[in-house]
Every structure is written in structure tokens, then in C-alpha cells.
Structure 1
Amino acid sequence: MKTLYWFTRDLRMHDNAALLAAARSDMLLCVYVVDPRWFANGPFQCRAMGEHRWRFLWQSLTDLERSLRALGQRLHIAFGESEQALPGLVHQHSVDRVIRSRQPGTIEAQQWQTLQQKLPNTLFQEFETLSLYTEGSLPMPVSELPGTFSQFRKRIEKQGDRGPDLLRIRTLTALPPPPGFPEDNRGECPPIPEPSSALAFTGGETAGLARLQEYCFGNHGIATYKETRNALDDWDSSSKFSPWLANGSLSAREVAATIEDYERQHTRNDSTYWLWFELLWREYFYWYALKHGSRLFRRDGVQRKHRQVTFYGHRFKAWCEGNTQYPIVNAAMNQLRETGYMSNRARQLVASCFVHELELDWRYGAAWFEQQLVDYDVASNYGNWQYLAGVGADPRGLRQFNLDKQAQQYDPDGAFVERWQGRSSQPVGLHTVDAADWPIL
């Protein structure tokens, strides 16, 4: 059998059920598609792919290609729309089967459906590689996923200490040969930007696995995670696994298994549990996105709650540029723009400000995060924004943070605001009306 393996958010050799299935072939063509639509402005004036994530992604692809070459394989990088590029490769190489990892997100689902329509004589298979659990091992059908995370967590943990055994799938040591070494058009991809800050993540499975070992067994950061995770500006205050998890350079099950390894070898405490707890939040949003489909992107969310919002161009522009009346928000937004990253606490604060103080449509904020974040993940990003906007999985609904109180608690000496220049000399007021302020981003 001749198989085309479509790499998406599974850029790794370890714990990859989809690649393991693809390896049972006579010929294997490994493909990654870089879509030019990622780099164009969308309906919310933002791009799907910003420079931080693009650099991280390219590093990840480079690392993946090294791993594939070590097994006699190659990575075919196609620059184009997947609905056009993949059928051409299927016909060119007489492919019998196309395999990929299952994806949350409506665009990804539409692309998969379109490919099946274009290639009716080709076998299509999807596998769970982004999640901790497969759909069959969940304690409920996806259609009956609880409306809140707490209910989901209790159902998972009721199965056992942490649910069923999370067995890591073996790392592949052999792959079928490719169909020769066909040329690709990777040279047409946008240029790779240079790192712009000291906080520059290095993409790829090699770096992701190294960070996992460093954080758990090197500096033992996992042992104090719960106490330090809300820090706004420190590398080892949190795991920083999210960029590698987001594009699949690091497996969620590998992280879960490593947590258990650490607990067996060293200690089990509130912090080691809390890292698992956060991993379970990510899991919940994965299934949440699959359950709700297009409602993940609707203004009224999965709860169908209608809130009166409008679009104030000057407010959106000020928030993006870190030029609001709120220094803690400005500092976090400047950090995001410079590094592609901000802490979980900072994300909650800037999102709360966006929804409550600035009274903007949450989808614009989610789209800006999609463009800027190095660790953007469609399910977690849009699920969390719905949560903060009061239209998603939050049972309390529409929670608002006191920005002054939060600044006093998490930046008492003002060091974070000072470092990231949060005190704007000319902050934009809420009611500034000037056509020149309309953002063209």
C-alpha cells in the first residue's frame, strides 16, 4: 500500500499513533502543507500566522526533517492550499491512503471533507494524537461532554487515580521508503524572521523533549509549579511546554507520563498534580472544540448568550499596541508583541480588560492572540476567550478581574510594568473618536 502521511499538529516521532499506522505501508510520502492563507489578514484584521509562530513552526519542521532523514525518509513541504496540493501528490504517486491526526477546528474539518470528495477512491484515516485520551477511552460520548471543566475532570478522575493508563506509543525506528525524492516548492514560503527577544523558544521535538526533562528532572520546577505558575515574567516559573504541545512537537501523553515518572522517582505533591490539572484543561478544550464545532467561533458562544458589544477601532488598536489606560495590560501586550508569549495570568488580565473595560467583541481579541502567540492552539485559545467573555464553559459567567488589585498582587514592585514599558506617555482614552485611529494592522 502507498500512503501519504499529512503532518499537521503532530510534528514528532514519539507517541504518534497516526505515523505508526502510516508506517505499515510499502511506500510512504511524508508531507507538510504551508498554506498561504495563514499569512493574509482575516475577517478580524489579523493573520492566522504571525512571525513568532512561523519561526517556531519552521524550526519544528527542520527538526522533524532531520529525524525523518535519519530513517531514510524525507519531508515534502508544499506551499499552497491543501485542497489543491494534496490531490496533486496523490495522483502523481498513485497513493492509496491518506492519514493525518484528528484536528479540532471547522476549517480543518472542511479541508478533510473536501479532500475526500476530490479523491473518492482513496482511503482516508484519522488518529487521535493531540489528546491524552482517545474518543473511545473517554467516560462519556463527545456529544455528552459536560458543560464545565470541573464536571469533566471529576468524570475523568472517577475512572481511577488519573483515568486509564496513558501508555506512550513507541518511537519509530524504521519507516518505509519514500517515492524517490520529489522536489517541493518550500522556497516559495515566506521568509523566516530572526528572533527578536531573549525569550525565544526553539521549535522542534528535540527542544521540546529537552525542555520536558529540564523542567521536571533538571531544575525540578515541577515540584513548585503551583506556587510559581502565576508569575508574570520568569522562564522557569511555569513549564513553558505549551508551544511544543501546540504544534505537536511534544505529546500530551509524554508529558503526563513524565509527570508520573517524576512522582515515582521524587515526590508527589500539589504542584505535580496541578501540572496534570492544567494538562487536563487542555484536554477538555480539545473535546469541547470537537463537540461544538462552529459555535467555538460564534460571538454568542456555545451558551448562545447575546451581549451588546460593538467595534471601537481606537480601543482595539490601543490594546494591541499596549497603549491603554491600564499599565499591567500594556506591559503584557508589549511582552506578547515582542516575544510571542505571555503567562496564563497575564492572558486572563488582558482578556478581561478587552471584554469588560474596553467592551469589545471577544473574537477580535482571540484573533489577535491567534496571530501573535507562539503557542496558539485553536481549541484552547477560543475556548478560553469564550470562558472569559461569559459565553463558554464558565459556570459563573462573565467574570471580571480587578486590574489594580491584580497588579498589586502579581507585580507589587512594578518590575514587570517597568521592564515591558507599560506606562504609556499618551494612553488612548475609552472615548477617543478619530478616524485616524482606525486600525490597519
Structure 2
Amino acid sequence: MMARRAGRVAAPVSSGLAGAAAASEGRRAVATGATSASGGTAVVWFKATDLRLHDHGPLSKAHAAHSHVVHVMCIDPRWFGASPTGFAKTGFHRARFLSESVADLARSLAARGSSLVVRASRPEVALPAVAAACGASAVYAHSEVCSEELAADRAVRAALHGLPSPVRLSQCWGNTLHDVADLPFDASSDTPQVFSQFRRLVEAKCKPRPPLPPPPALRPAPPGFAAGTSPHGLAMLPLDGGGPGSQPPHSHAAVRPLPASAVDAVLAGRVPMAWELGCALPPGMDTSALRPVAPPAGVGLPPGVALASGPGATSGGAVPPDAPAAPAAPAPALSARQVECGGLRDPRCAIQLFGGETAALARLRLYLWDEDRLREYKQTRNGMAGQGFSSKLSPWLAVGALSPRQVAAEVARYERERVANESTYWLLFELLWRDYFRFACIGWGSDVFRLAGPKRALDPGRGWSRDPAVWGPWTRAQTGYPLVDACMRELTQSGFMSNRGRQNVASFLARDLEADWRVGAEWFESLLADHDPCSNYGNWTYVAGVGADPREDRYFSIPKQARNYDGHGTFMRLWLPEVAGFSPEQLARPQDYPQGLDVVRRRAKLAFQENAHLTDEVAIKRAVAKGRYWVREIHATHALHKYRSIKKRYY
């Protein structure tokens, strides 16, 4: 959930994988019903990455092996601190999506006669308290990969072991298409460093396991454990000294507690909303563009939300790419509470994101079956405007409201019942990318969060700047390049950005602005509803040239990308009303955009100053040609001529 700057953690991960592999064998017995309840009480620890009932190994194992089960979700205050650059680690959009996902899980458990205990506390504080209160002998949870999540697991294990009656932490692998135990290599040391090699090995020797169904019947909590439940299915328990400000004996970490509003919500039997967790709206968000948006059919309205009636209300199922832009008349800025409680969202966004397993399965059904879009996925996946151009399942995969194996099973059924083609394969191909980054991060450890990345090498010719004057316009969608600014504005307004947009804005920040790529990764981590540390940081290292990309100096030309993927300017005009009168070519070439011309001039001046000491023409050519986008895009063609023409024209 948070940005990392810790040391390498490959060794602890490796030891954890041995237990995960052994536990995965137990899952097979669970799936076939070979394990029967043996009595006693278990706790299922739901995390921010597995908020579902289907294909949930710890849930299935606990209900098969115990006569009583308690379900717990801990909202960790460490998720809501500040990143090294100073951004909110979990921003408003991601917090709202998470809150909705937890609330949906609580409703699903309540519908099956069970409940969810939600605690606004660190898991190493809350889980031992709940385990002691219900007399549990085991806590079941999924295994982790990244440093902060692993640290939380170790803290929980130590706290459970330190109880008067020690409680074991049983973990198993999950949340990937392939199980770690099925890989044809040791993930902690031998994961191929190039994706194509990984793909060939896995496709040749692995097959995804079928998803586990939800337990046929949920075991009850032990008698007398819960004093009662709220209408939302949350167990109403006192904090018993385990509030967010308390410290377990083994921990000396200073953790800022969550706001009192979050604790009050939990005590009242509600899942805290984003505003109650202290999440403010993203800087620069235009609240005048927001409208009440109802969730898709079959998806419940999040608790605490009351949609305003009127002509501005829209459905969350499908928003057309030509949705109205922001009104011309200025409107008072709204607070995070007003936006969230009013169900306000930007109707221009490619998809309206509602958290939870119910919404995830509805989206999967809509994309594959109702609209039959999977058959053309490969051809449309690089679109930028409209909800149907790609699956957009990543937000639900990120919070675990949807299992990748469930997606694979539905794709297989689609291939049997409708069509099997390159597009159906390509959706699984994208899930393989997700697997690759997760397994690769096991071996990379915290290198994936360092400036030099998994390559452990930096190009000395690049600036890697952390100066806000360099990256600030990028975060504010004020670079002067319409394609970049439109993507960044959609992110600010909605918590979503297309895959094509992400590649372009990441390349722009890392290659063109020559900023520290981790600034961009932290900004994505804060705002993207589908943030996953392995995929987010892995992709950023890839684009920045410090990751697993076998190509040297991969680069995205923004004008070329604008022409290829938004040739009519539909997406750019949708998010930038100020350029509504620009032609497609003016939108593609930022030199014709006054603000963009200023940026070009500033960057060209910097390029000139950096290379002013060079006298050899060959050296000058190499320096200018090496990623100097600002120079390349000004009219001259020959590298040396570009350099000299800039000097003559502007200085």
C-alpha cells in the first residue's frame, strides 16, 4: 500500500515462500473437500489485496478445518501517511475504492449469515486482541511479497506467538494467475529477468489452477463472541485497548493514529469512508465537473452515500466518450466529505469505479458476456476514451475483489462457448505480465523501489531530478503537452488512466523531464485506484530504463503517440476544454501550443547548457540524440543542426 525505501528483503521472502508452497498443497485438499472441520476457532485475516469470497485460500481452509471462524479486516494507519516525496500514500480515489470494497465484503458475509470485524488499527495490534477474545488457535492469511507487507506479517506472527496461548499464523499463496508452487523455477532466485523468457517457460510448463468456490456454508463465530452486528454486517466490538494509538510490547515504531472519525465509524458498525480516514481530494481536482453517479445494476450504493436527484445524475454502467465537459460557470469547491457522501464522480472518466466483489463480477460479466467485447480486446486495448476499449479489471484485481484465476476461468468458458482467438489469449497475456512483476519482485527485493532499480545501474547522462520545479507541472497536468495533460487530468479527477496513457506520461516524466521516476511511481500510488506495488513500481522501472526491459533507451514520442492513439483529438478535447478549437495536428505538436512552446524552450536551454562544453561534433551528435526529446521535436533534422539551430533561435 505504501512507497518503499527499505533494504533488500529477498531472504525473508524466500523463507516465506516455502511455507506458502506447503500451504498451497493444503488448498488442494480444501478444494476437493478432503479436509473436515476439526473443532476450535480460526480467524481469517482479510487484507487490502484479497477482499472477496471466491478463490480465497485462507477463507476456504479456515472454514474446512475449524468449527468456528471470525473474519477480520484491519485498516492500517500506516497506509495513510506520506510518501518520501510528500504525497499522500493512499489518496482519496484509492481510499474510496478500498472503503467500498470492504463494505461490499461485509454485506456479502452478512448475506451468508456471518459478519466482518473491522478494526481501525495495525494488524499486529488488532489481530492478537481478536484472536484472544474469540479463543482462536490459528489466523489464516495470504502470503506477501513487498517489504512493508512482509514487515506487517512478521509483526503479526510475533504478536500472535507472544500471546499467553500462542496462536499460529498460517499463510498460503494467492492473488496471481499461477501458484508459486507450480512455477518451473525458484521465484526467489531464478525468475527470468526478461518477460518473454518468463512467459515462454510458464506457458510451456504451467497451467492455472481452477478458482476455489466460496465455502458452501460459513462457520459461525464462537458463541458470545460478537455482541451484535450492524446493518452492514460488521461485528460491533469494543477496541479493548487495541486502538490505533496503542503499541504492542514488541513494537517501538511511531505510528500516527487514524482520525477519530475513522475509529468512531468502526465503533458505530460502519466501514470508514475515505473522508473519515482523513483523505483529502487530490490537489487540483475540479469538483465543478462532478455529478452524482449511480452504481451499475445489481451493485449496492456504498453505505453513507445518498445520490442527489436531478438531471445531472448518471449511471455508473457506461459513460459515453462524449460526456459533457466541466460547466463554464465557476462553482464553489467541494470537500472530500461532500464529494463522497453525495456519490459525485466525473462523468467524463472512461469507467466509473465502484469497489467490491459484486461490482468486479458485474464488470467481468459486462465486458465478456453482455457486451461481447473480449473478441476484439487486442485491437481495442490501447484506446483512451470510453468504457469498452479494454477490460479495466485492474482496480478489482488490485484490491483482490476479483481473482485472476476467476478471470482465466471465465475466459476459458468464453472460448468454449463463443470464440477463441488472439484477443482471448491477449487478456491472459496481460495477466501474465501481472504475475511476472509479482514473482520478479520476490527476487528483486527492495531494488524495485530504488532509483537504480533492478538493473542497479543509472545512465549518468540523465538528470534524475527531484526538483518540484521539474516534475510539478506534470502532477498538475500543466506540461503544455495536451496528451500528457489530458491523461494526468483524468487521473486527478477519477483515479483511473488507460494503459496507453500511463506509458506516455511515465516516459514523459522519466525520459523527457529526466525526473526521478520514483516521484511518478509515488504519485500513481497515491491516486490510482488500481495501485499494486509490484506492477506499479515494476512498470515504472521498465519505462525509466532501470528495470527488466531488454531494450536500451525505450522512448515514447508524445506527438507520434497522440497521432496514433488519439488521432482525432477526442480524448484530449474531452479532458482539456481549453483546447477545444485546436486541430488534431496542433494537439499532437505541442510547439503549436503556447504553453508547450515555453516548456520546449526551457528544456532546450537546459540541453544546451549541459552540452556547452562539448567541442567534438560526434560527441555533440551523440549527446543531442540521446533522449533529447525537446531537441528532436524542433524542426531541424540533423542532430548537430538541431543543436545549433536551437542555440541560434532562442539564445
Shorter-chain TM-score tier: over 0.9
Q: Which moved more, 1:20-29 or 1:265-274?
A: 20-29
CA distance in 1, matches of 2:91, 2:433: 25
CA distance in 1, matches of 2:148, 2:561: 37
Q: Is 1:135 aligned to residue 290 of structure 2?
A: no
CA distance in 2, matches of 1:361, 1:266: 46
1:267 is matched by which residue type in structure 2? Answer: V
Q: Is 1:40 aligned to residue 81 of structure 2?
A: yes
TM-score when normalising by structure 2: 0.64
Q: Which moved more, 1:112-121 or 1:347-356?
A: 112-121
1:209 is matched by which residue type in structure 2? Answer: L
CA distance in 2, matches of 1:325, 1:70: 51
1:304 is matched by which residue type in structure 2? Answer: R
Q: Trace 1:33-72 onto structure 2 (pairs within 5 A).
A: 33-72=74-113
Deviation at 1:221, TM superposition (A): 0.6
Q: Trace 1:220-259 onto structure 2 (pairs within 5 A).
A: 220-259=372-411
Residue in structure 1 matching 2:513, options 354, 358, 361: 358
- What's the secondary structure of 1:119's corresponding residue? helix
Residue in structure 1 matching 2:599, options 420, 429, 441: 429
Q: Is the 8 A contact 2:69 2:219 kept in 1?
A: yes
Give the structure 2 partner of residue 173 of structure 1.
216
Q: Trace 1:125-164 onto structure 2 (pairs within 5 A).
A: 125-142=170-187, 143-159=189-205, 163-164=206-207
Deviation at 1:229, TM superposition (A): 0.5
Residues 43-85 of structure 1 deviation map (CA, whole Å, 9 limit, x = unaligned): 1211221111111111111111111112221111111222222
CA distance in 1, matches of 2:439, 2:140: 20
Give the structure 2 partner of residue 278 of structure 1.
430
1:204 is matched by which residue type in structure 2? Answer: G
Runs of 4 or more consecutive aligned structure 1 residues displaced over 3 Å after TM superposition: 422-432
Deviation at 1:202, TM superposition (A): 1.3
Give the structure 2 partner of residue 112 of structure 1.
153
Give the structure 1 partner of residue 320 of structure 2.
none
- What's the secondary structure of 2:136's corresponding residue? coil
Structure 1 or 2, whichever has the larger Rg, is 2
1:316 to 1:171, Cα distance in 2 relative to 1, 3 A: same
Q: Trace 1:42-441 onto structure 2 (pairs within 5 A).
A: 42-120=83-161, 121-142=166-187, 143-159=189-205, 163-179=206-222, 180-181=225-226, 182-184=235-237, 185=263, 187=265, 189=272, 190-191=275-276, 193=340, 194-198=343-347, 199-307=351-459, 308-421=463-576, 426=595, 429=599, 431=602
Q: Which moved more, 1:71-80 or 1:35-44?
A: 35-44
- What's the secondary structure of 2:139's corresponding residue? strand
Q: Is the 8 A contact 1:147 1:393 kept in 2?
A: yes
CA distance in 1, matches of 2:353, 2:523: 20
- What's the secondary structure of 1:6's corresponding residue? strand
Deviation at 1:425, TM superposition (A): 7.1
CA distance in 2, matches of 1:410, 1:42: 33
Deviation at 1:247, TM superposition (A): 0.6
Deviation at 1:88, TM superposition (A): 2.2
2:151 is matched by which residue type in structure 1? Answer: Q
Q: Is 1:11 aligned to residue 54 of structure 2?
A: no
Q: Which moved more, 1:381-390 or 1:114-123?
A: 114-123
Q: Is the 8 A contact 1:106 1:293 kept in 2?
A: yes
CA distance in 2, matches of 1:208, 1:298: 33
Q: Is the 8 A contact 2:177 2:208 kept in 1?
A: no
Alignment length, in residue pairs? 430
CA distance in 1, matches of 2:54, 2:545: 38
CA distance in 1, matches of 2:185, 2:534: 19
Q: Which moved more, 1:245-254 or 1:190-199?
A: 190-199
| Residue segments in structure 2 that go unaligned for 5+ positions in a row | 1-39, 227-234, 238-262, 267-271, 277-336, 580-592, 604-651
Deviation at 1:96, TM superposition (A): 1.5
CA distance in 1, matches of 2:409, 2:80: 36
CA distance in 1, matches of 2:58, 2:529: 24
Deviation at 1:29, TM superposition (A): 1.6
Deviation at 1:238, TM superposition (A): 0.1
Q: Is the 8 A contact 1:391 1:397 kept in 2?
A: no
CA distance in 2, matches of 1:70, 1:127: 26
RMSD of Structure 2 on Structure 1 (CA) = 1.9
Overall identity of the aligned pairs, in %: 38
1:304 to 1:220, Cα distance in 2 relative to 1, 3 A: same
Residues 296-323 of structure 1 deviation map (CA, whole Å, 9 limit, x = unaligned): 2111111101244121212222101100
CA distance in 1, matches of 2:345, 2:264: 24
CA distance in 1, matches of 2:159, 2:92: 33
1:400 is matched by which residue type in structure 2? Answer: Y
Q: Which moved more, 1:209-218 or 1:113-122?
A: 113-122
Q: Is the 8 A contact 1:78 1:186 kept in 2?
A: no
| Residue segments in structure 1 that go unaligned for 5+ positions in a row | 433-441
